[in-house]
Structure 1
């Protein structure tokens, strides 16, 4: 894809060594699914510094407290997640906790339950909303939130899907692991505001069609993920699909005098 003039100029500076890339922050993204399959998408506010106006999946940066070993845990161990994402155990723990925390913050859906085989049935009460807001402003740590409510994080409800790193030419960069998860029975998403001004449930192929017609904007990782998901007839196929996690970092190249971003 062609780069805007300002970003193209920065790309030339980075490629020439005149500007050093900024470090990428560790982050987690969750592709939330429901039968159809449909995916949950948020439109980021036009005032956001990163990906303004883009339709994205819930997600965000890893909080240093997300790696707290006090979190009650069910499912694949942090070591197993580390193997899946080719990272160390501590970061893997943080990524999984960030995935569950950010999903709750940005959709109201909580992948946790009173025990290793259960999930919270409803998170729409005022007390849940107060906790969600406290997690967002970081006055409440995720481990403390789970402990106070006697909840177990359900790592087994997540599936590793992809690993994307923001191109080196960007001024804000994220090293993001993608997960997929199915909306738990009894729970429902809510229009929780914050960084988004619109939320939708949409079939992957429909979202891709809207993007093709210029009606919505999708960033490359979102577009690629939706393209992959559009190949499946249901959530069962998505969850059963074998995945080899390969790191993807789009890069800037100059083609016939025009700076373009490529993922190959």
Structure 2
């Protein structure tokens, strides 16, 4: 049980929380999407480096994602694929929350990458999202002046929940000042679409083989948070995107916790 060493400031907060002197912050529901594509040497994942000025996970390489918006649970969202009830069963969530998680996954992916998991019908997908009108809608979604349901309705689009696969469930440790209850999804980059460096919370984007990203983290070249590191390690065992999609997943909630080991505060997964 070696775990991840905590920086001094977080270690001090951990001791306060463990001693009962600081109350843990309630986690916010969130969704994260691992976008995959097949590369010459196996699957590749899309990673964004969060700006150093961000309050949460500054400088970390992460998957696209974010918090559930209250409007993501709107039943007016046009839907194709597994139902919210089926997603709720996969993630041990209520039907309403599951609807919000899937909508947040698709919305945040579009906001942060330009990739849209939706199409004109239940068996089609948007081929290109690079025009000025798409960019205007993306920015309107980000500043919350446009609801996701209205965005889809105006364009005559259907959310394709079948393009997502449930992968994991992580809850930020109680010691963190910002906490998220995050469901992880995987999805394949739709044919014809391409990711874009759309700015915002990230200052750099890359496609990487999961094993390469893990190795860079070992070398101290990049910073990965434990859920990202763990997910990339799991994905590195698969030879291709089809293998990832075919993998059996039993979603078990993981809540890393802080423990003191030989005088040092460390984060362990179990």
In structure 2, what is the Cα distance between the partners aligned to 1:220 and 1:63?
25
What's the Cα RMSD here? 0.5
What secondary structure is seen at the aligned counterpart in 1 of 2:217? helix
Cα distance in 2 for residues equivalent to 1:81 and 1:111: 16
Match of 2:171 in 1: 165
Q: Which of 58, 61, 65 in structure 2 is aligned with 1:55?
A: 61
Deviation of 1:255 (Å): 1.1
Determine the structure 2 residue equivalent to 1:92: 98
161-170 vs 1-10, which deviates more? Answer: 1-10
CA shift digits 1:185-205 (9 cap, x unpaired): 000000000000000011001
Matches within 5 A, 1:1-264: 1-36=4-39, 37-264=43-270
Residue aligned with 1:11, SS: helix
TM-score (norm 1): 0.99
Q: Which runs of 5+ in 1 are unaligned?
A: none
- C-alpha displacement of 1:152: 0.2
Aligned mates of 1:11, 1:96 — CA distance in 2: 32
> How many residues in Structure 1 have an aligned counterpart in Structure 2?
264
Cα deviation, residue 6, structure 1: 1.4
Deviation at 1:14, TM superposition (A): 0.6
Q: Distance in 2 between matches of 1:229 and 1:246?
A: 17
- Offset at 1:254? 0.9
SS of corresponding position for 1:35: strand
Q: State how far apart, in whole Å, the 2-side matches of 1:19 and 1:165 are.
A: 18
State the shift of 1:2 in Å.
Answer: 1.3
Point out 4+ residue stretches in structure 1 off by more than 2 angstroms. Answer: none
Displacement of 1:257 in angstroms is 1.4
Deviation sequence 1:171-218 (CA, Å, 0-9, x none) = 000000000000000000000000000000110011111111100000
